[in-house]
Chain A
Amino acid sequence: MDFGLTDDQREIQRTARELLLERAKPERVREHAESARMDSELWRELCELGWPGIAVAEEHGGQGLGCIELSILCEELGRSLAPVPFLPSAMAAAVIEHGGSPEQRERWLPSLASGETIGALGTAVDGISELVVGGADAQVIVLVEDDGSARVLSCDDAEVTPLASIDPTRSAARVSAQDSGEALADGCAGLGRALVAVSSELVGVCERALEMTVAYVKERKQFGVPVGAYQAVSHRCAQMLLETEKARSTAAFAAWTADADPARLAEAAAMAKASASEAGREVTAGAIQAHGGIGFTWEADVHWLYKRAQLDAVLLGGAKRHRARLAAILAEQLGASATA
């Protein structure tokens, strides 16, 4: 049993972190967020490095790596809040690759893998999705309905209305496509991987929020001592670590099952998203609180993490929805063992 990353995976993590520390500095993220536009220069660079195709099969122009590698990049991008459409595009690619027909894969995957085409994935009711993360930048959109059916469509075939979400590091749109697009053969097959991706991004957001908080409460003094010495503060930081580690362990497990034990992916992905959605909200809220008045100001960058966490927490369903899913899976397992 081994929870560690391979040398190659560690190398991907290290180079991603170094690149983003350099290219997605807080001031640069803020600048793009304030003008509500993606960082096209950084996106081009990531595309040249092959990031969008990391988990896409080589036959479709990707790097053919696994879900663990995908989750590593998502986590690093979550830490940095880089204003690029990586997550929505990678989620769309996963759903098309694992649930699409050969023609659909042929049509969309090579350009999603190269980054020429930007994708997005949203949940819809009767063809309407009120908020698709990344939807305003996307050329290809996948809409998943509650019943598990999914359709892939070009943005030209849909009514895409850009929205100003509270998280301007990424675009958003209302998408209406009642009669257009093509059905995917299996709308659910790639969904587990998409859930791993967003859960991993949330883990990265939590890590960064906790790091910023710990640094701040060590520095900030009141009554002559660092506020982090008070247990009211330090115990909340401990709670933030617990939430983060709970999310990290379940996300890592889900990433591993995707390629090694796919029969458990649906359950593992629901656990990961339920944990990560809760952790994202709790940890970033704790970060604002521990920063005190400063944490409530625009200048302190901690609010961008809170905003990203809010959007990610409900993306592809929030914690309650995934716990309902889990309860159904547990009931099925119980039924199966009763009849076995």
Chain B
Amino acid sequence: MDLTFSPQETAFRDELRGWLAANPPEPEPADGGEDAQFTRRRDWQRRLYDAGWAAPAWPTEYGGRGATPTESAIYFEEIGRARVPFAANTLGLLLGGPTLMVWGTPEQKERYLPPILSAEEIWCQGFSEPDAGSDLAALKTRAVKDGEDWVVTGQKVWTSGAQYSKWCMLVARTDSEVAKHKGLTYFLMDMEQDAVQVRPLRQITGEAEFNELFIEEARISDANVVGGVGNGWKVALTTLMNERAGLGFALQIRLRQLLDDLIASAAERGLLDDPLYADALAELHVRCESIRLLAWKGLTDTERYGQPGPEGSLVKWLWSDTNQRLTQLAVDIVGPDALTVGESWSYELLRARGNTIEGGTTEVLKNIIAERVLGLPRLKVSA
């Protein structure tokens, strides 16, 4: 056991930390509108790109640094620590690019990877549907072959960043005669066509991070099938496996920062000497440290043994639950400010409710842990 970074890893961290300190992003726009926020994130990604920091985990041949998984985790920890925004095209960088690297044709890689990296083309993810959430393979959006094109009709939901996107990673049903996982195909759909309508979904925080997509006979060229017709489930799993790989480290650091802020607030109010608050804050500290340790353990196991294991579900579960407890405790410590619109603690309180739903609900994570880690039988539900 050695819980320290190697000299190369430390050098990587120091170089990035130095660059981030010397190149802070533009201050947050005063009007705070979503479009202005997005423009700021796009500009920020361009600067990361110019300095070679947009996607260090990408291989050098695609414009990355070929960073190891440990270095990539350090990257996201430092992004979190510096309190800079996430790159505008985070879904393209973390999900779309790596999926194409595995399943894409040489032509697809050449055409799509460079503009992902430079933020010229933004990507979104069209997986979930109103009747296909946790049960993704039940999706109903249909694609029918018409000459050299596919014609797509259906509805998608929770599509973050769709209003800014050029390309959508779309999973659609191309064969309804076979078992539900087998009839799916993975497409890259051009968002700039009238057949695709984007309607923002306002969430409980008041902002609209994500959207509904209404797709009415949209056209996708056959050249934009990824990984072959009927192979969509496997390709989608590649995307999903990358979903938390890196971002988790940034989120873990943000949780740590929130806790440090809360401890400081408690100290200012003299509540650190109150045994009830001291106990609750200390428990959050233990959980934060445990999340950090489990995340790093999962990562180093992956480096050693290959694919990330289902244990990652434990980290996501513990993180989301801890963030909810933390933001709830903040209301008790900070007082009315944390219940006032526009204050950061009230935003964190509301945003945290999504944590146990997005990227796999806690209930689904528990199923995954029960079935795939503990080997418990699955209950057959009659349809």
Contact = CB atoms under 8 A, between A and B. Distances in A.
Interface residues of B, number: 49
A2 B263 CA distance: 30
B293 interface: yes
B301 A231 contact: no
B285 A326 contact: yes
Contacts of B282: 274, 322-324, 326-327, 330
B376 A217 contact: yes
A250 B370 contact: no
A76 to B, nearest CB: 17
Contact of A249 (B267, B293, B363, B378): B293
A21 to B, nearest CB: 20
Interface string A304-340: 0000000000000000101110111011001000000
Given A1-B5, A4-B1, A246-B290, A231 B374 contact: no
Interface in A226-244: 226, 228-231, 234-235, 237-239, 241-242
Nearest to A235: B366
Query: Among the interface residues A230, A234, A250, A327, which one has the most CB atoms of the partner chain B within 10 A?
Result: A327
Contacts of B367: 231, 234-235
A311 B263 CA distance: 32
A275 B283 CA distance: 9
A250 B289 CA distance: 8
B318 A246 contact: yes
A253 interface: yes
B377 A226 contact: yes
A327 B281 contact: yes
Given A231-B367, A249-B297, A324-B278, A242 B317 contact: yes
Nearest to A239: B366
A332 to B, nearest CB: 10
Contact of A218 (B2, B293, B318, B377): B377
B83 to A, nearest CB: 17
A5 interface: yes
Contact of B286 (A6, A225, A237, A271): A271
Interface string B263-289: 110010000110100110111011101
B369 A218 contact: no
Nearest to A210: B374
A218 B379 CA distance: 12
A336 to B, nearest CB: 12
B1 A5 contact: yes
Interface of A: 1-6, 68, 210, 214, 217-218, 225-226, 228-231, 234-235, 237-239, 241-242, 245-246, 249-250, 252-253, 255-256, 260-261, 271, 274-275, 320, 322-324, 326-328, 330-331, 334
